[in-house]
Homo-oligomer: A and B are copies of this chain.
Amino acid sequence: MQRTGQYTIEYNNPPFIIGFASVVGKKEGEGPLKEYFHKIENDTKLGCQTWEQAESKMQQEAVDIALSNSSINSKDIHIAFGGDLLNQCISTSYNIRNFSIPFLGQYGACSTMIQSLLLSGIAVESGCAEKALAVTSSHFCSAERQYRYPLEYGGQRTPTAQWTVTGSGAVIVGKDTNGIGIRHCTIGKVIDMGVTDMNNMGSAMAPSACETIKSYLTDTNTQPDDYDLILTGDLGKVGSDLLMELLLKENIDISEQHNDCGKMIYDIEKQDVHAGGSGCGCCASVLCGKILQKMYKQELNNILVIATGALMSPTATQQGESIPAIAHLVHLQNS
């Protein structure tokens, strides 16, 4: 591996995505991407006693399907990278407890999927692992009560608010000779523009997406139209508009290539999700649903995925802190 430019890392013997799966909840399964998910769970609790257990089980299902679809035994996975939004990342720890896989817990808020994926790529290319696993999830019910209000309270949502996706995605990375290769990654810096509104996460995260995209394009000396798709994680409608605006100030126009998982996963008008979807499971389930399936079929061949994360906590917000954000990028290319 080697560094390219100031912030970007190039994978020389690119690791490949050799398995993936997505599992989502009922609302996501009624949205525009329903045909792409590997499994849709109509029971919010997946038969468990709590939403936290349900989220963990959803992750476990995603891992199981990814392993099974690629005929890989969990014993052959040398390292798992993953995390989630819940305090102390319990969805992931309690999921990985079911597998005998060495585990490094990640916390990047909604950027966790790409953070885990880029580290899986580094683990495989560097020789630390023959195969690595990247996994994450979020659940509307477990997140809502932790970050905002008890569900029973029925709090009003502002127009800028996003809807936490109930979903999980798992990716297995390994060596191969062709397929979906991980070509570059750009690890983001923590950027805080002073936004304090927990109901406007898109705006808090857009500046970090802008910074990471700009760094990557500069470092690799490429243009937006070199790519079939430039996909952000969960900026939603408000954050995506702001990202366009910020990038245009830098003379970067990605309007032709850009889409956002938070805009794609729901029918924003009909499903009443205000500014769109969010949560670790948003980028994870869209990536492991529609996007990787389209790459697998070579309908997409060269894409950038930039997942953003808002790194605050309710405690920090209550103490008057603003919201620091981060964005990590991976460049995926078919070969």
Which interface class (under 10, 10 to 19, 20 to 34, 35 or more) fits A? 35 or more
Whether the pair A102, B189 counts as a contact (CB closer than 8 A) is: yes
With A128-B9, A313-B88 known to touch, is A100 a contact of B189 (CB < 8 Å)? yes
Q: Which of A62-70, A90-98, A173-181, A250-258 contacts B (4 or more CB under 8 A)?
A: A90-98
Set of chain B residues within 8 Å of A3, measured between Cβ atoms: 78, 127-130
Q: Is A192 an interface residue (CB 8 A)?
A: yes
- Which chain A residues in 228-281 approach chain B with CB under 8 Å? none
- Known contacts A106-B106, A189-B101; is A87 also within 8 Å of B313 by CB? yes
Contact A103 B326 (CB under 8 A): yes
| Chain B nearest CB, measured from A322 CB (Å) | 9
* Stoichiometry (number of copies): 2
The reply to whether A90 and B125 form a contact with Cβ atoms under 8 Å apart is no
A151 within 8 A of B: no
Assess whether B86 is in contact with A315, with CB atoms less than 8 Å apart: yes
A104 touches B106 (CB 8 A): yes
A105 proximal to B (CB < 8 A)? yes
Residues of B within 8 A of A129 (CB): 3
Q: What is the minimal beta-carbon distance from A243 to any residue of chain B, in angstroms?
A: 19
Could you tell me which A residues sit within 8 Å of B by CB distance?
1-3, 7, 9, 49-50, 52-53, 78-79, 83, 85-90, 93-94, 96-97, 100-109, 115, 119, 122-123, 125-130, 146, 186-192, 311-316, 319, 321, 324, 326, 328
